[in-house]
Amino acid sequence: MKFETIHKQVLHKHHLFAPMDDEQLETLLKTAHLLNLEKGQHLFSQGEQAERFYFVVSGKMKLLRLLPDGTEKIIELFKANQTFAEALMFLAASKYPVNAQAVESTTLFSFSNIEYKKMLLADSNLAIELLGDLSIHLHKRIREIEMLSLKNSTIRVVRYFLALLDQEGDGEHSLELPVAKRLIAAQLAIQPETLSRIFNRMKEDGIVEIDGRKITVADLGRLEHYE
């Protein structure tokens, strides 16, 4: 398919594609596909052959596993300009270990694992630059994992708010929750009712104002030290 210039500009900002020059990215895009998923539509299932990885153009995706009792365990959520399933092309595993499903109407780029690896093998400088970018990304992910491992649920929520302010804040200490609260609870490994209690307590304590998905931080200093 034909990719617009804006698509290439967006991809160049991501660590998996930033080291590529225009010609290399053009070559990779020749084997890429643009996918449109409806809300609730599955992209792949656990156990399927892992032949491709994905870049979210718009919308949101979730990776999940179904537990023996039939309940759904959300592993991770992905929004626009994020990739997922790319790690599998560097591992011996050849099957997806989880299910992928659209949280809402979502558009994705689908890339070939084989073609991406061919480019790295053909250009050692490209591979080295990618390793540097991946190292930076890894440190960020480690900090996120540390947040999720915190025992205190309130601190998880506080750090989640601070991370959103850092990424998407409008400069006036307000932000928009990217997904429904039940999905945030699952991502933070907190029961939905526990998350609701934390939100209500923070509101009663004058830390935040809540209007649907819009969160306004009334006192940033108190939020940073709130427990």
Instruction: Look at the block and give the residue holding tokens 């034909």.
Output: 2
Does residue 142 form part of some domain? Answer: no
Cα(127)–Cα(143) distance, integer angstroms: 25
pLDDT band at 1 (very low <50, low <70, confident <90, very high): very low
Domain count, the chain: 2
Name the token pair of 119.
């480019």
> What is the CATH number for 69?
2.60.120.10
pLDDT band at 146 (very low <50, low <70, confident <90, very high): low
* DSSP code string of 39-79: TT-EEE-TTSB--EEEEEEES-EEEEEE-TTS-EEEEEEE-
- Cβ contact 220:169 at 8 Å: no
Question: 33: which strand partners?
Answer: 110
Q: Which helix (H) or strand (E) holds 132?
A: helix 124-149
Same domain? For 11 and 108 the reply is: yes
User: How many residues make up the chain in this entry?
Assistant: 227
Contacts of 170 (CB under 8 A, 6+ apart): none
According to the per-residue pLDDT averaged within each range, which of 77-81, 172-176, 210-214, 216-220 is highest?
77-81
When pLDDT is averaged across residues 159-179 and rounded to a whole number, the result is 79
In this predicted structure, the answer to whether residue 94 has a pLDDT above a threshold of 70 is yes
Same domain? For 168 and 113 the reply is: no
What pTM did the predictor assign? 0.66
When pLDDT is averaged across residues 192-204 and rounded to a whole number, the result is 91
Residue at which a domain ends, from 110, 137, 164: 137
When pLDDT is averaged across residues 21-38 and rounded to a whole number, the result is 92
pLDDT band at 65 (very low <50, low <70, confident <90, very high): very high
> What is the CATH number for 194?
1.10.10.10
Name the token pair of 176.
């928009």
Same domain? For 204 and 131 the reply is: no
Question: Would you state the pLDDT for residue 225?
Answer: 84
When pLDDT is averaged across residues 21-46 and rounded to a whole number, the result is 93
Please give the residue range of the domain that contains residue 155.
150-224
Question: Would you state the pLDDT for residue 52?
Answer: 95
Same domain? For 128 and 156 the reply is: no
Contacts of 112 (CB under 8 A, 6+ apart): 31, 32, 51, 52
When pLDDT is averaged across residues 23-36 and rounded to a whole number, the result is 91
Cα(78)–Cα(85) distance, integer angstroms: 11
Same domain? For 23 and 104 the reply is: yes
Same domain? For 80 and 187 the reply is: no
Cα(77)–Cα(101) distance, integer angstroms: 10
- Cβ contact 157:188 at 8 Å: yes
Does residue 107 form part of some domain? Answer: yes
Does residue 12 form part of some domain? Answer: yes
Mean pLDDT of the chain: 87
Same domain? For 22 and 64 the reply is: yes
Contacts of 82 (CB under 8 A, 6+ apart): 55, 56
In this predicted structure, the answer to whether residue 189 has a pLDDT above a threshold of 90 is no
- Cβ contact 70:12 at 8 Å: no
Same domain? For 41 and 97 the reply is: yes
Does residue 116 form part of some domain? Answer: yes
Residue at which a domain ends, from 113, 137, 161: 137
Instruction: Look at the block and give the residue holding tokens 């599998």.
Output: 88
Question: Would you state the pLDDT for residue 170?
Answer: 53
Helix, strand or coil, per DSSP, at residue 54: strand
Contacts of 146 (CB under 8 A, 6+ apart): none
| Orientation of helix 5-12 relative to helix 22-29, angle to 10° | 110
Same domain? For 213 and 185 the reply is: yes
